[in-house]
């Protein structure tokens, strides 16, 4: 389990104490007679929300190195601190604070939960500015965490008029969990580590604790790249806690070798929500035709099974006659894509004419579409092109999609010999052209019965 200080990060300038705010604090109001207040902090709730309670019980806490810290801050109606209590433990039993002697009045309770590594001199999470609720915050000197060092908080407003009351607080996470995985990270890559780092606008760290703050005021952006986490040579995966969040985040994979950094790839359209559980995956052996993945564990399982079965991420719309909006929905539903030409362009060669839109669906793999009209009506052709992968991956993918190999054809006045496939319903033909070891394309079009006369070899089926 690793925590990496910001000053040791291989990336852009880091900060020692980063402050941001949290939108998922649980607020509730108790207005009953009170004399002695019993506040129960449900320690397991933080890990339940992140889906790591089992790991905490079976792996992290039994090691004896991870210590949980629970703190309770009590503020009066003026937002001034009147009491601060703390407890450390090595289990997930609820922590109970007994409070007596508070004068009648209204109070805000803030429960904080974090953890630290027993062998480290410094704790990764620090409460600061706690004298006033308006300045109270939880800050960190680290920029990424292994899962046991997740942090969370909860608040409650309480009115005291003598008597007694029990208050339950269940801290919720201030960040999300990322299961960072890389396949084929071997010494041959030349890297000692690979880091996933967000672009400038998505980095956050720490929380302000005042529950009255607006969503906009709670989160404070960081002025530099924020590291989600790293994997070191010999590691295949690491379960990480990060405060990064936002919609359509762009992040980057960087290879680290000594003091040198090398850009590997970009992950686009990455959505991260506070409290979410995600998988980040990249296969270094397939990086040209298989892009990185970022999403839920369920979506990853389906996506990875398709990739392992040989299905390419290029899976074009083949609804002949449909309009551009259907293609656009199909593209935007992909886990990774980037616009190619951004607008329709007229395409004309001796075989195909029409209005052309295309997209990257992997770094060296595209889906392309030809429509009859400039406004994207009547899909006539689809086209997949790859310039850095074995042609065998195209053959396997076609067969896995149910296409049947019919043989090889040669169109008149065309010197190329092209592999000829038919869709399971016979309505679409796929023409696979191969241009060297790593360059190929597939043209999809409505089946033309005349093409069968051009068969020069006949395949099975």
Residue 10 scores a pLDDT above 50:
no
pLDDT at 355: 96
Q: What is the pLDDT of residues 325-375, one digit of tens each?
A: 999 999 999 999 999 999 999 998 877 899 999 999 999 999 999 999 999
pLDDT at 188: 94
Q: Which residue is it, tokens 């016979």?
A: 426
Q: What is the pLDDT of residues 77-126, one digit of tens each?
A: 999 999 999 999 999 999 999 988 788 889 999 999 999 998 887 889 99
Kindly state the percentage of the chain with pLDDT values over 70: 89
Matching CATH topology for 3-173 and 176-202+214-308?
Answer: yes
Residue 202 scores a pLDDT above 90:
no
Contact of 231 with 179, CB cutoff 8 Å: no
pLDDT at 163: 66
Q: What is the pLDDT of residues 362-418, one digit of tens each?
A: 999 999 999 999 999 999 999 999 999 999 999 999 999 999 999 999 988 777 889
Q: How confident is the model at residue 437 (pLDDT cuts 50, 70, 90)?
A: confident
Q: How confident is the model at residue 225 (pLDDT cuts 50, 70, 90)?
A: low
Contact of 402 with 426, CB cutoff 8 Å: no
Looking at domain 3-173, its CATH class is mainly beta
**Where is pLDDT greater, at 215 or 209?**
209
Q: How confident is the model at residue 248 (pLDDT cuts 50, 70, 90)?
A: confident
CA distances from 452 to 407, 409, 424 (A): 10, 8, 16
Interatomic CA distance for residues 90 and 416, integer angstroms: 70
pLDDT at 140: 82
Q: How confident is the model at residue 15 (pLDDT cuts 50, 70, 90)?
A: very low
Q: Which residues contact 163 (CB under 8 A, 6 or more apart)?
A: 32, 33, 34, 35
pLDDT at 200: 58
Strand ordering across the sheet containing 293-295: 3-5, 142-146, 237-242, 176-183, 277-283, 293-295
Burial class for 320, CB neighbours closer than 10 Å (0-12, 13-18, 19+): middle
Residue 72 scores a pLDDT above 80:
yes
176-202+214-308 placed in CATH 2.60.40: yes
> What's the predicted TM-score (pTM) here?
0.87
Three-class SS state of 241: strand
CA distances from 363 to 267, 268, 271 (A): 10, 11, 20
Best CA proximity match to 347, nearest among 338, 359, 356: 356
CA 102 to chain centre: 45
pLDDT at 375: 95
Longest Cα–Cα distance of the chain, Å, equals 97
The whole-number average pLDDT for the span 137-157 is: 90
pLDDT at 13: 30
Best CA proximity match to 165, nearest among 209, 85, 102: 102
pLDDT at 142: 77
Residue 447 scores a pLDDT above 90:
yes
The whole-number average pLDDT for the span 298-307 is: 96
Best CA proximity match to 104, nearest among 51, 63, 158: 158
Q: What is the pLDDT of residues 252-280, one digit of tens each?
A: 999 999 999 999 999 988 899 999 999 99
CA distances from 255 to 200, 230, 399, 447 (A): 19, 10, 35, 46
pLDDT at 407: 95
Q: Average pLDDT, whole number, for the chain?
A: 88
Q: What is the pLDDT of residues 18-68, one digit of tens each?
A: 223 333 343 444 554 445 788 999 999 999 999 999 999 999 999 889 999
The whole-number average pLDDT for the span 183-209 is: 86
Q: How confident is the model at residue 162 (pLDDT cuts 50, 70, 90)?
A: confident
pLDDT at 319: 97
pLDDT at 460: 57
Residue 214 scores a pLDDT above 90:
no
Contact of 169 with 125, CB cutoff 8 Å: no
pLDDT at 141: 74
pLDDT at 461: 40
Q: What is the pLDDT of residues 165-191, one digit of tens each?
A: 789 999 999 999 999 999 999 999 999
pLDDT at 402: 96
**What is the C-alpha end-to-end distance of the chain, expressed in Å?**
55
Residue 12 scores a pLDDT above 80:
no
Q: Sign of the CA dihedral 299, 304, 310, 316?
A: positive
Kindly state the percentage of the chain with pLDDT values over 90: 71
pLDDT at 393: 95
The domains of the chain are located at 3-173, 176-202+214-308, 324-458
Q: What is the 3-state secondary structure (H, E, C) of 259-318?
A: CEEEEEEEEEEEEECCCCEEEEEEEHHHCCCCCCEEECHHHHHHHHHHHHCCCCCCCCCC
């Amino acid at each position: 389990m690793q925590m990496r200080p910001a000053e040791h990060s291989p990336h852009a300038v880091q900060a020692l104490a980063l402050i941001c705010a949290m939108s998922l604090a649980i607020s509730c109001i108790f207005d009953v007679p009170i004399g002695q207040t019993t506040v129960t902090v449900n320690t397991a709730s933080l890990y339940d929300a992140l889906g790591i309670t089992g790991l905490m019980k079976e792996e992290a806490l039994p090691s004896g190195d991870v210590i949980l810290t629970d703190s309770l801050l009590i503020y009066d109606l003026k937002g001034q601190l009147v009491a601060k209590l703390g407890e450390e433990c090595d289990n997930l039993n609820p922590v109970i604070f007994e409070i007596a002697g508070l004068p009648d009045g209204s109070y805000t309770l803030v429960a904080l939960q974090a953890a630290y590594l027993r062998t480290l001199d410094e704790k990764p999470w620090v409460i600061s500015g706690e004298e006033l609720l308006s300045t109270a915050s939880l800050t960190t000197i680290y920029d990424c965490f292994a899962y046991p060092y997740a942090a969370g908080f909860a608040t409650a407003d309480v009115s005291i008029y003598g008597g007694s009351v029990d208050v339950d607080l269940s801290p919720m996470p201030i960040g999300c969990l990322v299961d960072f995985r890389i396949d084929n990270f071997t010494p041959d890559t030349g890297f000692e580590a690979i880091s996933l780092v967000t672009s400038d606008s998505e980095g956050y760290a720490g929380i302000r604790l005042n529950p009255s703050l607006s969503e906009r005021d709670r989160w404070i952006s960081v002025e530099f790249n924020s590291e989600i986490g790293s994997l070191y040579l010999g590691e295949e995966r690491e379960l990480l806690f990060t405060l990064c969040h936002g919609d359509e985040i762009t992040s980057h994979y960087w290879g680290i070798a000594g003091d040198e950094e090398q850009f590997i790839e970009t992950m686009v359209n990455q959505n991260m929500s506070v409290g979410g559980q995600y998988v980040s995956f990249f296969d270094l052996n397939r990086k040209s035709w298989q892009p990185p993945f970022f999403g839920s564990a369920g979506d990853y399982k389906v996506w990875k099974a398709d990739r392992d079965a040989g299905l390419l991420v290029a899976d074009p719309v083949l609804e002949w006659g449909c309009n551009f909006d259907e293609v656009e929905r199909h593209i935007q539903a992909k886990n990774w894509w980037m616009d190619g030409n951004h607008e329709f362009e007229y395409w004309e060669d001796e075989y195909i004419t029409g209005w052309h839109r295309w997209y990257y669906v992997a770094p060296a793999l595209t889906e392309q579409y030809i429509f009859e009209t400039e406004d994207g009506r009547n899909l006539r052709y689809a086209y997949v092109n790859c310039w850095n992968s074995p042609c065998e991956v195209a053959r396997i993918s076609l067969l896995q999609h149910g296409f049947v190999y019919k043989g090889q054809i040669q169109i008149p006045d065309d010197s190329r010999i092209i592999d000829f496939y038919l869709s399971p319903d016979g309505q679409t033909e796929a023409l696979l052209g191969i241009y060297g070891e790593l360059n190929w394309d597939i043209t999809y079009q409505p089946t033309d019965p005349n093409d069968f006369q051009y068969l020069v070899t006949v395949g099975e089926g």
